[in-house]
Structure 1
Amino acid sequence: MKTIFRAVFYLRSNYVNKEGKTPVMLRIYLNNERLSIGSTGIAVQQSQWDSEKERLKGRTTEVLSTNLELDNIQSGLQTIFKKLEMTDAISLERIKSEYLGKKEEVETMMTLFDKHNKDIAKQVGISVSAATFQKYNVCKRHFMTFLQDKYKRSDIRLSELTYIIIHDFDIYLRTVVGQNPNTATKTMKT
């Protein structure tokens, strides 16, 4: 199926700044979904705005400069879309975070463990006990050792994580680590 992506500019008509200008807002569409990104940081005179072309009317230097900025935003979003279209990770949220520079790459199991465990560490004493935090650290350590023993690797990409690897980790916990079935199941849940 062909993926349809587009960026739409519109005016925030219920707001006018001190200079009498209205902010230009940005919304992106991916197939039948839409997501508002917010203000582009550009403000224009409402009377100069052509809502069909989503650009300013006129040929003055200021108008041409503003239209060029809008073109650059649109082409930047298209570039992000083209880059993500080649992967399976294409979504409106991902495009938005890339555009806003908030991309958080979690591509390997160990980076995911690290991020998760840091988030859990912040919650210790608030909504998570120290014992629960310790369980997550033990699970990470067991998984690192498992990867090293079984696959001679220190990390694995999330895209490489298959049912076979998960099954092998379960067997590893029961045999090499020596966990009883209940403990192994709880470690797997963790």
Structure 2
Amino acid sequence: MCMKTIFRTAFYLRSNYVNKDGKVPVMLRIYLNNERLSLGSTGIAILRSQWDSKKERVKGRSTEVLSLNLELDNIQNGLLNIFRRMEFDESLSLERIKMEFLGKKEDIGTIMELFDRHIADVKKQVGVSVSAATWQKYNLCKKHFTVFLKSKYRRTDLKLSELTYVVLHDFDIYLRTTAQHGHQDAENLQDHYNLRGEVGCSPP
């Protein structure tokens, strides 16, 4: 009997950023079974007091609120439709769903291409839904991973298919020792890319 594939979306407010109007970006994350992947900002920003965290929608019945919630509904429905089209495809992954949703058909073949794509996407959002400090952390993570690859594997890049749990574990140890990042810093650096969710690998 085949295991049912479970896909869902989650909207939430960014906890560490407020724009110049005092509003907080509504963020989006998608889940596939036990994996997750952040899609970043939805482009919607609201006052923190307007958010219903249980319903994952904006509170109220005004025309503006209804329009914002309709936009969130459309995002959710669009992702669900993409999942349904790909549900029985052997190559189904969160990254494929993301690429289809964002309209980016070209394949990402290596981890460095993945880093570059994320960094470019985040840079466009600086001052809108992310801070310059966040963008710098993405660059720092790529820098550390580049040095790690050269020192540990004598490589300058990896195919996404080569990014296994063992590699991620070694990178985690590198961050905590050679790069001298504490436990929380190491977790935060990897979480910025959610590398395990990106490539669909998890601990054995």
For residues 13 and 68 of structure 1, the distance between their equivalents in structure 2, rounded to whole angstroms, comes to: 23
For residues 87 and 9 of structure 1, the distance between their equivalents in structure 2, rounded to whole angstroms, comes to: 26
| The structure with more radius of gyration | 1
Alignment of 1:11-90 (within 5 A): 11-90=13-92
Alignment of 1:117-132 (within 5 A): none
The residue type equivalent to 1:49 in the other structure is W
Q: Which of 97, 102, 106 matches 1:100?
A: 102
For residues 53 and 73 of structure 2, the distance between their equivalents in structure 1, rounded to whole angstroms, comes to: 15
Percent identity over the alignment is 74
Q: How many residues align?
A: 107
Q: Which moved more, 1:69-78 or 1:15-24?
A: 15-24
For residues 103 and 58 of structure 1, the distance between their equivalents in structure 2, rounded to whole angstroms, comes to: 37
For residues 64 and 18 of structure 1, the distance between their equivalents in structure 2, rounded to whole angstroms, comes to: 24
Q: Normalising to structure 1: TM-score of the pair?
A: 0.54
Q: Secondary structure of 2:44's match? A: strand
For residues 7 and 68 of structure 1, the distance between their equivalents in structure 2, rounded to whole angstroms, comes to: 15
Q: Secondary structure of 2:55's match? A: coil
The aligned residue for residue 147 of structure 1 is none
CA pair 80-36 structure 1, distance change in 2 beyond 3 A: same
What runs of 5+ residues in structure 1 fail to find an aligned partner? 107-111, 113-190
Residue by residue over 1:40-95, the C-alpha shift from the partner in whole angstroms, topping out at 9 and shown as x without a partner, is 11111110100011001110111110000000000000011001113222101111
The aligned residue for residue 138 of structure 1 is none
The residue type equivalent to 2:100 in the other structure is E
For residues 30 and 87 of structure 1, the distance between their equivalents in structure 2, rounded to whole angstroms, comes to: 13
Moved >6 Å (runs of 4+): none
For residues 68 and 56 of structure 1, the distance between their equivalents in structure 2, rounded to whole angstroms, comes to: 10
Q: Normalising to structure 2: TM-score of the pair?
A: 0.50
Residue by residue over 1:103-133, the C-alpha shift from the partner in whole angstroms, topping out at 9 and shown as x without a partner, is 2269xxxxx9xxxxxxxxxxxxxxxxxxxxx
